[in-house]
Structure 1
Amino acid sequence: MYISNPNIILPEDPDTIVWKYLDLSKFLDLLISKKLFMSRSDKFEDQYEGTFSEPTFEEIKKLSVDNPKFLDFYKSHREKVVVSSWHINEYESFAMWQIFTQNSEGLAIQSTIGRLQKALLIEKEFNQFIGEVNYIDYKKEYIPFENMFFPFLFKRKSFQYEREVRIISDLHDKDIKINDGLKINVDISQLIEKIYIHPKSENWFKKLVVELVSKLDFDFEIEKSDLESDILI
């Protein structure tokens, strides 16, 4: 279940559009399992994920002089935080298609902030939080650390193009095994508003997606991306 946190910032408009770009296998896994995969934060490609900026790290080092376990905890904490990343954008993103779909057989889920909040179902052992990522200069700017989620809601300015909003769960005090991540319960019909098919996909691929979605008893609106629509001259 989504829990609000006054320290975590989100766009004020619940109708703010968000996207998730993924390949067909991951999409089918989502529909069949009715569970959303959340990646372990230290498994992301960005090695700075869940770490601190230089000004914050210097402060933490000072606090750790008499308590070395304080710093050790922050280093190991990343292994127990899981994340599902979504892209904020009113429109499709050509860059996101390029980065997150390996070939033309990919698709994009369109949702909204409000839908994400409502789609998260109750987990007995942990809560989910949703927050917008802040993009800062890690050499100059400070990341607060009074809230355990803050390191996971800041990224380097080089990643600003991601315009990311995240579903986050912290499992550091839970006896839950995490390999590359874990799956959480979601209301699929609430989570997904519309499906867009890869702009370079063939017609057979859209037909396949439509057929698979229908066989799994979902009725999402499915459209071909308009990034490759006919040129008007």
Structure 2
Amino acid sequence: MSIQAEDEHPFISPHDRTGFQPRHIMFDINGGLVPLPNGGNVTIWRYVGFAQFVSLLETQCLHFSRPDQFSDPFEGTVPRRLFEKLAKKYRDSNSVLGKCPTFSHDMFAMLTCVSCWHVSDHESDAMWKLYCKSGDGIAIRSSYKRLDECFNNNRSLQIDVGMVKYINFEEENLDDEEGFSTVFIKRNHFEHERELRAIVYPVSDDDDEEIVDLDAPTGSAFPTGRDIPVNLDTLIESVYVSPFGQGTFLSLVQSVVKRYGQKFPIYHSEMAKLPPAARKV
């Protein structure tokens, strides 16, 4: 797997690592590029519970989770054929790779945290039911451009943004050139998610500086999540309230958003509308 440089392909625009600037990633998996739909001019959604939404307003931070915290046990892991290739490559090695051939991939996955977004021009019934079953859900409407531009500067972390590549984990034959390929691939059983990911991981401008202290306690060396400062005015285009919520939930959300001084539009889900014949004239 390789990443093409900016001048090699128009869809990729890597920034330097001196600030908290997103890079726009597309992976070349056996020659197959994964471009953003419409050249990046896309609407994205994040479905969250009410408590998580209030936390976003309170902290003005977007939460990123380590891949192994998700329910899918394949998150951040290498596909079967790549695992076998690495095991054969390092079987006689006296290094840590001899005992754990996927060490570099595993290490990157442990250092990386992820924010997941659904790409769609409209709300999704499936996403509401998957992530907001209780009726107190919120759908944050944004765009690729807004997500790209919302992050505040942070010199010690790098953000990459890209589409997830859905593959057959048993049959896909990947190269092992890039350890962080695994955080942008998922089993093809999840294709319905149409996922765009922002990932964050530590970097250093000093080549002699350790990115991670392996002697540090596990929790501090490999945090299970990171809260990344964002500009909410830039990130959030509008908010939609769950179609399964009580009638008073919309006014509650409006009140809370006003209390935090935010001015983005708040709508009741389009899915809550009645059929035309059932509406009051």
| Aligned residue in 1 for 2:196 | 165
Return the match for 1:27 from 53, 63, 71.
Answer: 53
| Aligned residue in 2 for 1:3 | 22
| Aligned residue in 2 for 1:111 | 142
Shift of 1:30: 0.7
1:1-233 aligned at under 5 Å gives the runs 1-4=20-23, 7-8=26-27, 9-11=34-36, 13-67=39-93, 68-70=95-97, 71=101, 72-171=103-202, 173-174=211-212, 177-233=221-277
Structure 1 ranges of 4+ moved more than 4 A: 5-10, 175-178
CA RMSD, Structure 1 to Structure 2 (Å): 1.8
Shift of 1:160: 0.4
Distance of aligned partners of 1:92 and 1:7 in 2 relative to their CA distance in 1, 3 Å threshold: closer
Count of matched residue positions in the alignment of Structure 1 and Structure 2: 233
Shift of 1:161: 0.7
**Which AA in structure 1 matches 2:202?**
L
Distance of aligned partners of 1:5 and 1:209 in 2 relative to their CA distance in 1, 3 Å threshold: closer
**Which AA in structure 1 matches 2:226?**
L
User: 2: distance between equivalents of 1:5 and 1:29?
Assistant: 27
SS of residue matched to 1:122: coil
Shift of 1:188: 0.9
User: 1: distance between equivalents of 2:185 and 2:230?
Assistant: 25
Q: Deviations over 1:95-145 (max 9, x none)?
A: 110111130011100000011000122112111000100111111112333
**Structure 2: runs of 5+ lacking an equivalent:** 1-19, 28-33, 204-210, 214-219
**Structure 1: runs of 5+ lacking an equivalent:** none
> Percent of aligned pairs with the same residue?
27
User: 2: distance between equivalents of 1:43 and 1:94?
Assistant: 24
User: 2: distance between equivalents of 1:126 and 1:108?
Assistant: 27
User: 2: distance between equivalents of 1:197 and 1:108?
Assistant: 6
Shift of 1:180: 2.6
Higher relative contact order, chain-length normalized (CA < 8 Å, sep 6+): 1
User: 2: distance between equivalents of 1:151 and 1:160?
Assistant: 16
Task: Indicate if the aligned counterparts of 1:83 and 1:168 stay in contact, CA closer than 8 A.
Answer: yes
Shift of 1:69: 1.8
Distance of aligned partners of 1:204 and 1:177 in 2 relative to their CA distance in 1, 3 Å threshold: farther
Q: Give the TM-score normalised by structure 1.
A: 0.93
**Which AA in structure 2 matches 1:118?**
E
Q: Give the TM-score normalised by structure 2.
A: 0.78
Distance of aligned partners of 1:166 and 1:88 in 2 relative to their CA distance in 1, 3 Å threshold: same
Stretch deviating more after TM superposition (9-18 or 168-177):
168-177
User: 1: distance between equivalents of 2:63 and 2:70?
Assistant: 14
Shift of 1:177: 4.5
